[in-house]
Amino acid sequence: MGPTPAAIVRRAIPTVKARRGWAEARVLRPIRFPVKVEFRLEGWVVRVKQGQIADILSGSVKVKGTLKFSDFVLFERALAPISIPGVLAVTPAQAA
């Protein structure tokens, strides 16, 4: 069995390595790059029947990602709206 996703993320931390001549590279200091991903739902309809959610009609989603170093934005990208087709039927919860 391979490593867990959390273990993979911990190993993927960006670092700065220094080399002196042919010597082995060593880590000087880890660098942290916070990544912010935003999902904005638009046009979603929630149908309510008899006081309970009956179903949800999907709409579209806008996605935006930002990569920063300290307060400096290194990369920012927004995707075109993605249309999500379909209806999600919600079954009422049963009392225990």
* b/e sequence 14-49, b meaning 16+ C-beta within 10 Å: eeeeeeeeeeeeeeeeeeeeeeeeeeeeeeeeeeee
List, for residues 8-23, the tens digit of each pLDDT value. 445 555 666 656 666 6
Task: Tell me the one-letter amino acid at 44.
Answer: W
User: Residue 7 belongs to what H/E stretch?
Assistant: helix 5-11
Tell me how far CA of residue 71 lies from CA of 16, 26, 68, 77, in angstroms.
Answer: 19, 27, 7, 17
Single pTM value for the model:
0.50
Higher pLDDT, 19 or 50: 50
